[in-house]
Amino acid sequence: MTTYNNAIPLDKRRSGVLLHITSLPGNYGNGVIGADAYRFVDFLKQAGYTIWQTLPLGPTHGDGSPYQSLSVHAGNPLLIDLQWLVDRNWLEEHDLHNCINDIFGRSKCITIAFNNFRKLFDACLCNNKGDCKECGLATCDKSTVDQEQCLAFQKFINDQAFWLDDYALYCALKKKYQQQSWFDWPDKFKNRNIKDLDKVRKELRYDIFYYQFEQFLFFSQWLALKTYANERGIYLFGDLPIFVAHDSADVWAHRNFFKLNKEGASEVVAGVPPDYFSATGQRWGNPHYQWDAIEKSKFSWWVERIQTQQLLFDLVRIDHFRGLESSWEIPATEETAINGQWVKSPGMKLLTTLYNTYPELSLVAEDLGIITDEVNQLRESFNLPGMKILQFAFSGESSNPYLPHNHQINGVVYTGTHDNDTTLSWLETLNDKEKHYLQQYFNFPYEPLNKVLNNATLASVAKLAILPMQDLIDAGIGQRMNTPGTTEGNWQWRFSWEQLTEEHRIHARQMNELYGRLN
């Protein structure tokens, strides 16, 4: 019998911290893959954690949600560290300072670096004459082009062509049409007429190479950070949204894999029915999969998607895992998620294909919300850990599956997730009965309840224990990451190094050692 999902980092008791890259400190409007990211890895090592969990890394739409990305493969250019460009002499220090103080500074800096690196790009342009045998590129000037970067860039373009070609063209066309969604483009581009696409690739070749360069920067920086973390025993834990944004390179390039009409519009959209988070459910608006077409392709799109995740992360959470068994389809005309229906998905066939392709794949199932026996069976068939949230535990029933005494070894336990309030703030919302039950459960502890819940998370029998950064540093009201069902004020939280004290580090290491999570 095949044994699934036993590879590192699911091989032993471990603990970690949930912190998105954008929440790191720094000089920019959001955290980046720079010095503060490396400093955070060092903190994790010193504190005894071995897991760093992030949110999805893809380029976002205007609302900033990492769960509605322009691509399931690409990295968010807002996460690129501009100092990295200075260190490689692609950007002058004074340009960096000017960019930081400009609302459009990041793209300006990357454009400057792009132009300073133009010799490489000129060498890569397909229509130039000449040949460089060492690079394999056209008109490569050995006296001016950094040969190592020339080779690295060409390798990146070749290795990632299965998604990068469509993504770069998609971004170039969005720029050409003032950021309109692909389904509002002229029909010849919306419907991907081959001759017209070939023609526009030549017209937009500068922009196409710019977006390829942008992704080269992101992947180079992220993979360097991953190497640094892995060398110190820290594993990166990613997050894979099960659905894809309608306005994305993926839906544009693979329309046959999604339930769209001839105009490219969705007739049904994704979401979840009413639950703990919302009385009217959540209407996400993503297009649903055309599973019969995906299955006929031997799940090739999903296999490629996991290929990228395998490159970027050591462990991946499948967000809304229950959608691999059944998904909630809402008529596109409905304003809420109340009126919908569950539609079956081929999760067993999909996961079998993924594990046959990637035997060392490590997955976690986000199994919150309405979970059926069929969903549990699918998760257990592949030995996937589910999730337990302590903020859901204290409803008053001893059978509540989120209570620590009901946890299972094959699980991941959290105080809360990015969709929850901070534990300190959540405690303020409890009524007297709920607070008394919580105190009684922990035998009326002397420590503040938020610290008690942190310790209970680490003490759980679950193999993985994850603390949101807000709970680690005792962050209170107004410091949550996201409020489900809302679009304003989310994804903006950042911490400062002053909030992360030596006392936090010492206590964390003591608790990791006490509860057998120090590796």
Span 325-339, average pLDDT: 95
Number of domains in the chain: 1
Asked, for residue 457, whether it belongs to a domain, the answer is: no
- The per-residue pLDDT of the chain, averaged, comes to 91
- The pLDDT assigned to 141 comes to 47
Alpha-carbon dihedral angle through residues 403, 405, 411, 412, given to the nearest 10 degrees: 50
- The pLDDT assigned to 484 comes to 84
Look up the domain containing 198 and give its range.
14-116+160-390+422-440+463-482+494-514
pLDDT in tens, 295-306: 999 999 999 999
Query: How many helical (H) and strand (E) elements, i.e. helices and strands, does the chain have?
Result: 20, 12
List the catalytic residues.
319, 366, 419
Asked, for residue 489, whether it belongs to a domain, the answer is: no
Asked, for residue 488, whether it belongs to a domain, the answer is: no
User: Residue 361 contacts by C-beta under 8 Å, 6 or more apart in sequence?
Assistant: 5, 7, 306, 310, 316, 354, 355
**Domain CATH for 249:** 3.20.20.80
Between 109 and 373, where is the model more confident? 373
Asked, for residue 256, whether it belongs to a domain, the answer is: yes
Q: How far apart are CA 12 and CA 237, in angstroms?
A: 15
The per-residue b/e assignment along 207-240, b for 16 or more CB within 10 angstroms, e otherwise, is bbbbbbbbbbbbbbbbeebbeebeeeebbbbbbb
Asked, for residue 261, whether it belongs to a domain, the answer is: yes
Structural tokens at position 421:
């309030």
Asked, for residue 132, whether it belongs to a domain, the answer is: no
Span 272-287, average pLDDT: 86
pLDDT in tens, 183-204: 999 999 999 999 999 999 999 9
Asked, for residue 128, whether it belongs to a domain, the answer is: no
pLDDT in tens, 39-67: 999 999 999 999 999 999 999 999 999 99
Could you tell me the pLDDT band of residue 291, with boundaries at 50, 70 and 90?
very high
394 secondary structure, DSSP code: -
Could you tell me the pLDDT band of residue 123, with boundaries at 50, 70 and 90?
low
Structural tokens at position 301:
């799109």
Helix, strand, coil shares, percent, the chain, to 5: 45, 15, 45
Could you tell me the pLDDT band of residue 103, with boundaries at 50, 70 and 90?
low
Between 67 and 486, where is the model more confident? 67
Could you tell me the pLDDT band of residue 102, with boundaries at 50, 70 and 90?
low
- The pLDDT assigned to 124 comes to 46
- The pLDDT assigned to 101 comes to 62
